[in-house]
Structure 1
Amino acid sequence: MGIYDKVEYDNRQPLPPVSNADVTAWPRKQGMPMRSKQLTIDAELDRLQCATFCYFLHETNPANGLVIDKTEANWPASIAAIGLALASYPVGVERGFIARSLAVERVLTTLRFFWNSPQGPEPDATGYRGFYYHFLDMQTGRRVWQCELSTIDTAFLLAGALTAGIYFDANTADEQEIRTLADALYQRADWQWAQNQGATVTHGWKPETGFLTYRWEGYDEALILYILGLGSPTHPLPESSYEAWASTYQWDSYGDYEYLYAGSLFTHQLSHIWIDFRDIRDAFMRDKGIDYFENSRRATYIQRQYAINNPFKFKGYDQCCWGITASDGPGPSTVKVNGIQRRFFDYLARGVPYGPDDGTIAPWAVVASLPFAPEIVLPAINYCIHQVKLTALNPYGFKATFNPTFPEKRGHPYGWVSPWHYGLNQGPIVLMIENYRSGLVWQLMRSCPYVADGLRRAGFTGGWL
């Protein structure tokens, strides 16, 4: 029996916090199995959080601060993973996972790299107009794969830089430089250029073909992008851009829940890593009588209900086995399973309730909903640790995904398990566990004037604003 199995949950109230005095120390040795079933909730979260944080300790190039996107050989860095790492270092310091001096060194190395790296229209640059290419070579920091200059991934990078700039507030030369560089990087981004003369913001730009056709429209993870763009003191988005974005929202329902629809679970989570949306509302949410935090709580419950309903009869789906999001998968392939022709995907933005869905579960997406609905998330975490054993012998906590329906030749009792860890998965685990436990990142970003200005320009009122 796992540590959460005896707890009765009230689905309206979060669990009471467990004192840090109850946290059991454990040897933070790479590759150590997580086997104890007798730990307190807080201790279990501490173990998972620390193991996950170790990804940033071991999968970062110390010469430039770049973080590998995926633990596959010769894989490039992801600027989103770097932003998540920058936001995670304050958590690591507070939890004792890393010394403050070492965290300062790593953050400063990263920010110096991005400030000094080539900015220009050349196809092998690192960035342009204050934005950065989605994937960068781990050694040179130059663009790879002819990828796009990514507006959303730059937003995550800048949000991480601002987090570090607020946290490292000591009156030392290194910490002062962190603050200066974080501010300068944020102010360099030309958000108006990224609109390409349109009402909303484009997904990005390529030197070979110009701006991408797609724009940030419809509710999704771009909430943080618009807030940061609106708050810029140098190249701000006009308030009309947020209005244009919100005009494309889709209000929907599933079962007993009405909510602002976005299919993949991560779209309801990533902006919430940095911004505490409890009791603050824009015009859309004031009209609906809820806030974005409540909306994410409903989206989390919808995920679980969808798994219970299991419309496509995938193996394993139930009240403790859910989490359908953008993730790795066992495909691409089409396989007959128990007489049913099943199509399986590789990396894809899976979603609920309209799909795509191929039976793949992402435990990181469950953990990232912890602040919204701990009463249903904690049992699911327990299931992934103790039943599926997704942390056993893994150096960085949860592997990316598993799929009980896919016929696994090696005979794993829970089907196919991804061999990889992804930086984009690791960061939300570290940061949302911390927001649940202490609210650290939310508290830091409340004091960021750019975020507060962006929220106000977007029409948010109430609560801590």
Structure 2
Amino acid sequence: MLLDRRAVLEGSSLLLAGAALPWPALASRRRLPDFYDEIEQRTFRFFWETANPKNGLVPDRWPTPSFSSISAVGFALPAYAIGAERGWCTRAAARDRTLTTLRFLWNAPQGPARAGTSGYAGFFYHFLDMDTGLRYRDVELSSVDTAILLMGALFVGQYFDHDDAREREIRELSQKIYARVDWNHFRADGRAGIAMGWHPEQGLIDRDWSGMNEGMFIYILALGAPVHHVPANSWDAWTASYGPFWRGEGATRRLAFAPLFGHQYSQMWIDFRGIRDAVMRQAGFDYFENSRRETYANRAYCSSNPMGWRGYSRNLWGLSACDGPGNLELPYKGQKRTFFGYAARGPIDEPDGRDDGTIAPTAALGSLPFAPEIVIPCAATLMRQPGLFDRYGFKDSFNPSFNYEGVRLETGSVDPPHGWLAKDYLGIDQGPILLQAANYRDEFIWRYMRRVPAVRRGLTLAGFSGGWLAGGRAQRG
């Protein structure tokens, strides 16, 4: 279906305005409205209060009883530092929780066995038992979820810089956990790229990380690794498949990927402002600007609302991966429509696009640094949605169009006047909300990650130059 021309033109004009506002021009906007303090503090409390204090593992979701998501643990590590900076916990408490987590990760059993381990070759399984820390059922050894965990570990290795025994141990464990990872385990069988996962039962997953999605930072970490690094030309395997992902012209020209989390996960850790690889030097803008344009495109799509869902508007938008009511086919406005449970969502005219009327707060709020002028009004509107903002901030998602009664839901509940509302908070969706607010306020995550030698090394070996990388060298060690 074609987008409404007026909404597309509106989005284009906003993009043009956005492209003319480099980050320094936004400095005066870094003070967020008072209501955002409450969003951040409640989101912090999700990680602080739901983690297992004995091992630092964080549940995939809450309040539904859940296994731990290793990527949620990665988001929790900087969350503790944010809490210490904002006065929501003491630095000592944040330090001790961080150290507990890193000690567990370093000592957790590794090996190729199907059971009784937490990971292999330095990587961790996607999900772990909350208490034992061992592989949950038959989940995959995950390259991307381990990468999020490593980013969190590298961050705390910079943040905890005091000269005392516990903070020194945090720094040492951070480096040891990262150095242990053998990235070439995911490049067996002559692959140029890095595989998405591995099972001890079947081996590597067929699909590699390629195109435009959340996998960008995997290659940066793998290139920058001090021991088991990948060849310097591995970045080419990532960018070589960009072709089908290009969309738009002029100020809307961008590498598109429909779910917004794919544009957020690398950039909440790595400051891509002003640095460019060969592809972006040719394009004439950087990946930060690319994500800004894609944020506007997501909003323009929801404003146009080609599928006619209830509730979408210029201030109520945001499509990404999130919970949904369930995998169902039901009538909607005289047509049969398909709804989904947990799934990646985004504009239907972009790669991996899928739209069933479900909005995820993490989609817009995770893009705060890219486009604060449209994200903050959306956040204010989300605060007014019945039942959405609660104990730990925003519940994962909601769908105003799904007001069916008597159907079997995968999760959540239906209030006919307002539609479907998720039951749970998800760690991987809470993380972007909190970390990106910290980046917007004072570049908190970016400032410390710019100090990580491996990040600078990986970017330089991938061909990035300019900006804060000027004068850096791509040496190992």
TM-score by length of 2: 0.88
Deviation at 1:387, TM superposition (A): 4.5
Match of 1:381 among 379, 398, 402: 379
The equivalent of 2:207 in structure 1 is 214
Write the deviation string for residues 244-303 of structure 1: whole angstroms up to 9, x where unpaired: 111011342248611012121100001011111000000000010000000000000000
Helix, strand or coil for the counterpart of 2:246?
Answer: strand
Q: Secondary structure at the match of 2:195?
A: coil
Q: What is the match of residue 47 of structure 2? A: 56
User: How far did residue 150 of structure 1 move?
Assistant: 0.2
Distance 1:132 1:387, change over 3 A: closer
Q: 1:155 aligns with which of 147, 156, 160?
A: 147
Q: Distance in 1 between matches of 2:28 and 2:114?
A: 50
1:12-411 to structure 2, matched below 5 A, reads: 12-13=20-21, 17=28, 41-124=32-115, 125-196=117-188, 197-250=190-243, 251-254=245-248, 257-354=252-349, 355-388=353-386, 390-391=388-389, 394-409=390-405, 410-411=414-415
Aligned residue for 2:124, secondary structure, equals strand
- Tell me, in whole angstroms, the C-alpha distance in 2 between the residues paired with 1:291 and 1:44: 31
Residue aligned with 2:198, SS = strand
CA distance in 2, matches of 1:15, 1:171: 35
- The CA distance in 2 between the partners of 1:399 and 1:387, in whole Å, is 11
Q: Distance in 2 between matches of 1:288 and 1:77?
A: 40
In the alignment, the residues of structure 2 paired with residue 153 and residue 381 of structure 1 have an alpha-carbon distance, to the nearest angstrom, of 27
Show CA shifts across 1:207-265 (max 9, x none). Answer: 11111111101111111111011001101111111111110113422486110121211
State the alpha-carbon separation in 2 of the partners of residues 69 and 201 from structure 1: 25
Residue pair 2:450, 2:456 contacting (<8 A) in 1 also: yes
Give the partner amino acid of 1:454: G
Bigger CA drift: 90-99 or 290-299? 90-99
Q: Contact 1:368–1:428 (CA<8 Å) still a contact in 2?
A: yes
RMSD, aligned α-carbons: 1.6
Answer yes or no: is 1:445 the counterpart of 2:449.
yes
Tell me, in whole angstroms, the C-alpha distance in 2 between the residues paired with 1:408 and 1:49: 33
Percent identity, aligned pairs only, is 46
SS in 1 for 2:391: coil
Q: Secondary structure at the match of 1:272?
A: coil
- Output one character per residue of 1:331-364: Cα deviation in whole Å (capped at 9) or x when no partner: 1111112322111000011122432110110011
d(CA) in 1 for partners of 2:75, 2:446: 14
Q: How far is 1:404 from its partner?
A: 0.9
Distance 1:383 1:424 in 2: 22
Q: What secondary structure, in the 3-state scheme, does the structure 1 residue paired with 2:337 have?
A: strand
Could you tell me which residue of structure 2 aligns to residue 459 of structure 1?
Answer: 463
Whether the 8 Å contact between 1:402 and 1:414 is mirrored in structure 2 is no
**2: distance between equivalents of 1:43 and 1:382?**
11
CA 1:415/1:17 → structure 2, altered by over 3 Å: closer, same or farther?
farther
The letter for the 1-side match of 2:121 is R
> Are 1:15 and 1:375, in contact at CA under 8 Å, matched by a contact in 2?
no
After superposition, the C-alpha distances for 1:68-122 in whole angstroms (9 at most, x for unaligned) are: 0011443100000000001211111111111111111110010000100100011
Query: 3-state DSSP class of the match of 2:208?
Result: coil
Hey, what's the Cα distance between the residues in 2 that align with 1:266 and 1:414? 26
Q: Which moved more, 1:181-190 or 1:321-330?
A: 321-330
**1:42 CA displacement:** 3.5
Return the alpha-carbon distance in structure 2 between the equivalents of residues 335 and 423 of structure 1. 30
- 1:133-172 deviation per Cα after TM superposition (whole angstroms, max 9, x unaligned): 0000000000013000000100000000000110000001
CA contact 1:89–1:164 (8 Å) conserved in 2: no
Say how many residue pairs are matched.
435
1:72 and 1:333 map into 2 onto residues whose CA distance is 24
The one-letter code sitting in structure 1 at the alignment partner of 2:455 is V
Amino acid at match of 2:364: V
* TM-score normalised according to structure 1 size: 0.91
Q: Is the 8 A contact 1:71 1:420 kept in 2?
A: yes
Distance change >3 Å, CA 48–CA 72, structure 1 → 2: closer
CA 1:19 to 1:401, structure 2 compared with 1: closer, same or farther past 3 Å? closer
2:427 counterpart residue number: 423
Counterparts of 1:452 and 1:411 in 2: how far apart (Å)? 50
Letter in 2 for 1:135: F
Checking the alignment, whether the CA contact within 8 Å between 2:403 and 2:417 is kept in structure 1 is no
Shift of 1:16: 5.1
Structure 1: state its 5+ residue gaps.
1-8, 21-40
- The answer on whether the counterparts of 1:219 and 1:262 sit within 8 Å (CA) in structure 2 is yes
The residue that corresponds to 1:38 in the other structure is none
Distance in 2 (alpha carbons) for counterparts of 1:408 and 1:434? 38
Question: Which residue is equivalent to 2:475?
Answer: none
